[in-house]
Amino acid sequence: MTLTVPTRKPPTTAADPVFSVSGLWKVFGPKPERIPADPELATLPPAELRARTGCTAAVRDVSFDVRKGEVFVVMGLSGSGKSTLVRCLTRLIEPTAGTISIDGEDVRAMDRGRLRELRRHRAAMVFQHFGLLPHRTVLDNVAYGLEIQGVGRSERRERAAEFVAKVGLEGMEKRRPGQLSGGQRQRVGLARALAVDPEVLLFDEPFSALDPLIRRDMQDEVTRLHREEGRTMVFITHDLAEALKLGDRIALMRDGQVVQLGTPEEIVGNPADDYVREFVRDVPREQVMTCRTAMRPLSSQDAETGPAIRPEATVAEAIEAVARAGQPARVMDDGRCMGVVDHEHLLGVVAGVSVPPAGSRAAGAAPVPEEAAPVQRGPATPPGPRATPEAV
Ligand SMILES: Nc1ncnc2c1ncn2[C@@H]1O[C@H](COP(=O)(O)OP(=O)(O)OP(=O)(O)O)[C@@H](O)[C@H]1O
């Protein structure tokens, strides 16, 4: 797996939730309400639940917050419940049980008018097939969402032109969707969603139909827009590399449940169970783990000199700095030395083993494996995408 993860942002710490979801269920099938209400049925494995009740629990007792300004990725294999979960947020699918709020307002209590307002102004969905209007120009397609909102013609054309430029389509305003490539059409859809200035953008696998190069371009575009605008985004994907690249936090789903919710670094560095461990086993750890995790405390034997590196720099960047300098790097935050990254600890992160702090063990002693069982790196059948051997 090749990952082009830029230096990570510091983790989002703002507690402000935009969406707040608690105990959410969506059950498809006859008399769905009885499933969450009955402790015995609620805990049946999916196949048994289907056999006994004819129901599928697409979302099972899920709770999470989406924080202001973060990219929150919902990730999982096909059928794990990602689309159902995200559609429940704006009630494009009606939840069976649980609570959802946006900025503290109860979404399940909203009437039709309020729901329409929610979907048009506050939480716009960007679909895989953008549904562009074929007979309208690029500019008019982008202006369409504003037209629905009742914005006047000259203002909406002005705003649309601004967003056409923002997604890199300047000069193509007069073309029709049929005269654009797949990637350009995606950009039009993105501009249309951005133009209505929603508080949250919900992306449903928007790039999965694109070829890999255009896909990478679009991922970079989303990263850039997010950096420039700080807009809250919920992003569905089944692609682990995409999740790690875009997500501030990732909710990893399996059979309707969130099996782990955390930063990419938490998920790769500290998988919650064997399923997650298997999922992330081929991730190039040095591109996800940061100096914050790899550093050891400063010791009295450390030299006063050496390169300085930020805590959120990736281990890959630290390896380069340490290799160039030929000595450990100091992890600096606001002029303060938080610790040191040396070649031993950096290698420990890459190998997936934890190395005790300098001075706490005899020289030459072996590093301590993270798990009791030896770390296995041989081929297996992971549930997620495979890495190419040369990329690992
Ligand atoms: N309308 C429906 N009626 C019955 N079952 C449904 C319905 N919609 C979804 N499901 C089932 O709910 C489960 C979750 O589906 P969902 O589409 O949310 O998964 P997903 O993770 O988004 O999958 P994909 O990546 O393939 O889109 C699946 O088992 C699916 O078959």
Residue 212 forms part of a structural domain: yes
**Domain limits for position 346:** 286-369
Cα 82 to middle of ligand 1, angstroms:
8
∠ CA 313-317-323 to the nearest 5 degrees? 135
Same domain for 29 and 100, yes or no, is: yes
Same domain for 59 and 122, yes or no, is: yes
Same domain for 297 and 254, yes or no, is: no
**For the stretch 84-113, what's the b/e string if a residue is b when 16 or more beta carbons lie within 10 angstroms of its beta carbon?**
bbbbbbbeebebbbbebbbeeeebeebeee
Same domain for 308 and 345, yes or no, is: yes
Task: Please report where in the chains the tokens 């590399």 appear, as a residue.
Answer: 241
Residue 237 forms part of a structural domain: yes
Tally Cβ neighbours within 10 Å of residue 256. 25
Q: Is 74 within 8 Å of 234 (Cβ atoms)? A: yes
> For residue 80, which atom of ligand 1 is closest to its CA?
21
In angstroms, the CA 293 to CA 73 distance is 22
Please choose from 60, 75, 77, 82 the residue to mutate so as to test ligand 1's pocket, defined by most ligand atoms within 8 A of CB: 82
What are 297-355's pLDDT values in tens digits?
988 887 777 899 999 999 999 999 999 999 999 999 988 899 999 999 899 888 887 76
pLDDT at res. 166: 84
Same domain for 237 and 349, yes or no, is: no
In this prediction the pTM is 0.81
Residue 11 forms part of a structural domain: no
Same domain for 273 and 291, yes or no, is: no
In angstroms, the CA 155 to CA 16 distance is 32
What are 127-139's pLDDT values in tens digits?
766 678 999 999 9
- Give the CA distances from residue 300 to residues 137, 203, 219, in Å, rounded to whole numbers and listed in that order: 67, 50, 44
What are 168-194's pLDDT values in tens digits?
889 999 999 999 988 888 888 888 888
Per DSSP, helices labelled H in the chain are: 34-37, 39-42, 46-53, 82-89, 112-117, 138-148, 153-166, 182-195, 212-229, 240-246, 264-269, 274-280, 291-294, 315-325, 343-351
In angstroms, the CA 52 to CA 44 distance is 9
Residue 335 forms part of a structural domain: yes
Same domain for 275 and 294, yes or no, is: no
Same domain for 225 and 341, yes or no, is: no
CATH number, position 363: 3.90.1280.20
- Mean of the per-residue pLDDT values of the chain: 84
Inform me whether the pLDDT recorded for 10 exceeds 80. no
> For residue 29, which atom of ligand 1 is closest to its CA?
4
Give just the sign of the alpha carbon dihedral 343, 345, 348, 349.
negative
Helix, strand or coil for residue 151? coil
Residue 164 forms part of a structural domain: no
Residue ending a domain, choose from 240, 261, 280: 280
Same domain for 127 and 29, yes or no, is: yes
Residue 167 forms part of a structural domain: no
Cα 256 to middle of ligand 1, angstroms:
9
> How many domains is the chain partitioned into structurally?
2
CATH number, position 26: 3.40.50.300
Helix, strand or coil for residue 245? helix
Residue 304 forms part of a structural domain: yes
What are 269-313's pLDDT values in tens digits?
999 999 999 989 889 999 999 999 899 998 888 777 789 999 999
Point out which residues pair with 340 in neighbouring strands.
296, 330
- Give the CA distances from residue 185 to residues 127, 221, 290, in Å, rounded to whole numbers and listed in that order: 12, 14, 36
Same domain for 60 and 28, yes or no, is: yes
Residue 4 forms part of a structural domain: no
Same domain for 268 and 333, yes or no, is: no
Cα 57 to middle of ligand 1, angstroms:
9
Please choose from 24, 25, 28 the residue to mutate so as to test ligand 1's pocket, defined by most ligand atoms within 8 A of CB: 28
Same domain for 355 and 231, yes or no, is: no
Relative to beta strand 249-254, strand 257-262 is antiparallel
